A and B are shown apart, each in its own frame.
Chain A
Amino acid sequence: MKGALTLGLLLLAATLAALALGQVRLSPALLWQGLSTGEGPGALVLGTIRGPRVLTALGAGAVLGMSGALFQSLFRNPLAAPDVMGFTSGAGLTIIAAIALGLSLPLPLIAAGGGLLAALLVVALSHRRGHATPPLTMILVGLGVGFVASALSSFLLTLLPHTQAAEAQRWLTGSLAARDWSHALQVWAVGGVLGALALAQMRRLAALQLGEDLAAGLGLRVGAARLALAGTGVLLAAAGVAVAGPVPFVALMAGPLGIRLVAARQLHARLLAAAATGALVLVLGDLAARAALPGIQLPTGVMTGLLGAPYLLWRLSREMEKGEL
């Protein structure tokens, strides 16, 4: 309970900091004036520039974090995250392909299609008839699928006209540049529905965590339950990718970090903690990317990559100590 309060306060503080800080420093008085009257520079900065961007970052971070925790619980492995397992790369690839082919479908749909396709590929490639697939096999196959998807994205980039390629390249890094209220609304609406859907499946996830045999003994259709959970996880990740690009490491970090902060035991609490932590990580990463260095504004993905890569290495070393790798 105390942990949840801490996380909530951290999230609030990070959100306020993200709204208050930037390349341009505005006094709290001006910001307040903008907020309360809709006038002055505060209104432009809060209402048009930082507001939608911060809200989009919160939403995208939350869905990515929740997706990560969902897979980590499902596979009972902290390395199982949509960014490690190639789902976000798959979503990114289909978006690049759509740009190359001139398709004009909504981005979330394209991203979802790519994410699901990558997930299906992982399942198909790691499946062996009559054997249960160990989670680590799935993760490694996912890693491979992710690398293939990234390589194909790079290949498509060289085929695109230079103008489009530059735009697509920026998008692939993960960027929150020039987000507006429609992006924020989109990720919150889609994410809200999917989040509720995920939370509604927690009983089944809990049964699965007891082991497949026991879960089946409790009357659960194991295959269908796993499929529904994984599908929800992929769609959650795609909702984030659609507004922020395939930002690396947020989904991977959010779960373990959030669960530790909150000391959550129950599954739905763990998922919510991961969502809050994902939002925290992405908002702080974006704040650092756009405000840490005067005169320099980086794409958000660069900053989450900088934060996330050391975490991944530390995580791997822990896994090796435990003898799980």
Chain B
Amino acid sequence: MRARLIDFSRRGFLGGALGSTLVGTGSLLAAPQLRAGEDTLRFEHAYGETVLKAPARRVVSLGYTTQDSLLALGIVPQAIRYWYGDYPHGVWPWAQPLLGEATPALMTGEVSIETVAGLAPDLIVAIGSGISEAEYALLSQIAPVLMQAPEYPTYGMPWDAELLMIARATGTEAKAEALIASVADGFAAFRDRHPDWQGQTAACAAHDGGQTSAFTGGDARVQFLQEMGFRQPQALEAISSADGFYTALSPEDLSPLDADLLIWLSSQAKAADLASLAMRRTLRANAEGREVFCGEVLAGALSFGSVLSMPFALAQLEPELIAALDGDPSTAVPSAAKAGLL
């Protein structure tokens, strides 16, 4: 009963009811015989297995950051999930050029299943979307759904694994491999330019609403620091939980943030609050002029940790890091000075 309903309804949606002219690959559930086929694409993920008959073209992006991977692969999503930030169509500055004239729908809040159905996608990318298993089951009746691979937490699939998974589903593997190589080359060149920073400690922190927190473990921001050649301070490593991406710190003890380099993820609006955080003065990074301040766009680039945002962040951060790590406390770090942190 269910399979029949889906089969009909799906064809109906594609049959011009909503002006769609593209023909999709058909629903998974409606076509179990596909599983026996030779030339199918299979994806193991957190909620089971998804099978595609052919690479997808019409894609809805439900992950909070997956629009970057799709745009990098040359695929403009039909719809994008709103995470935060006031940028047209949920596409941040580093990805805007790839959007061109396209105007994907922006979806805010819970996933509206009927909006997704109305777009008649042939693939739904829900890596790092936080959808429930029930929502996954419902969306799978509209089109094949990609989730993060089973070994990663919801918001913890590394950018390169995500990019490769999406590339395989859209037939753009060659492009993905080139992109990954180019990002890796960028980091390698960065490490070559700064051999004396290798092995120094670095921490990423945020201060919001009176709560200071540090990013930990497998978080994209921490991985970014590691790609630049830094390592986590021991105290932070000790409080990292297996699947946590940040940890709240006691306002009385910010010592886990004690590192050779301290990067504050903030915004202009929160700068004054951070500047007046008294306990910051107890940190070695503050005393030695090794604090870097990231405004909204740069903090967003580090938080996205995507194939597009990381090269952007690397270029923006380099001059800041040179000023912070020159061994001379009197050299002002431009971003920290501008934010009033000195």
Query: Could you say which of A69-77, A84-92, A127-135, A296-304 contacts chain B?
Result: A296-304
CB of B137 within 8 A of CB of A178, answer yes
Q: In the complex where A22-B114, A295-B105, A298-B109 touch, is A178 in contact with B134 (Cβ < 8 A)?
A: yes
Does any Cβ of B come within 8 Å of A50's Cβ? yes
CB of B112 within 8 A of CB of A290, answer yes
Does any Cβ of A come within 8 Å of B187's Cβ? no
Does any Cβ of A come within 8 Å of B18's Cβ? yes
- B69-109 interface bits toward A, Cβ cutoff 8 Å, 1 = contact, 0 = none: 00000000000000000000000000000000000011111
Query: Could you say which of B1-9, B193-201, B279-287 contacts chain A?
Result: B1-9
Instruction: Name the contact of B8 in the complex, choosing from A24, A38, A297, A299 (C-beta under 8 A).
Output: A38
CB of A298 within 8 A of CB of B245, answer no
By a CB distance below 8 angstroms, the chain A residues around B106 are 295
Nearest A residue to B153, CB-CB: A163
A159-180: which residues lie under 8 A (CB-CB) from chain B? 161-163, 166-167, 170, 175, 177-180
A126-168: which residues lie under 8 A (CB-CB) from chain B? 161-163, 166-167
Count of chain A residues with Cβ under 8 Å from any Cβ of B? 35
By a CB distance below 8 angstroms, the chain A residues around B5 are 38, 43-44, 47-48
Q: How far is the CB of A157 from chain B (nearest CB, A)?
A: 13
By a CB distance below 8 angstroms, the chain A residues around B154 are 162-163, 166
A24 CA / B19 CA spacing, docked (Å): 13
Q: In the complex where A49-B138, A163-B243, A295-B105 touch, is A178 in contact with B8 (Cβ < 8 A)?
A: no
- Give 29 pairs: A residue, B residue, CB < 8 Å, sorted on A: A23-B115, A23-B118, A24-B18, A24-B114, A24-B118, A40-B9, A40-B17, A41-B117, A41-B118, A43-B8, A44-B9, A47-B9, A50-B114, A161-B243, A161-B244, A162-B154, A162-B243, A162-B244, A162-B245, A163-B130, A163-B153, A163-B154, A163-B155, A178-B137, A178-B138, A180-B138, A295-B108, A297-B115, A299-B110
Q: B residues bordering A, Cβ < 8 Å?
A: 4-6, 8-13, 15, 17-18, 105-115, 117-118, 130, 132, 134-135, 137-138, 141-142, 153-155, 241-245
List the 4 shortest-distance A-B pairs measured between CB atoms, nearest first: A44-B9, A40-B12, A24-B118, A178-B134
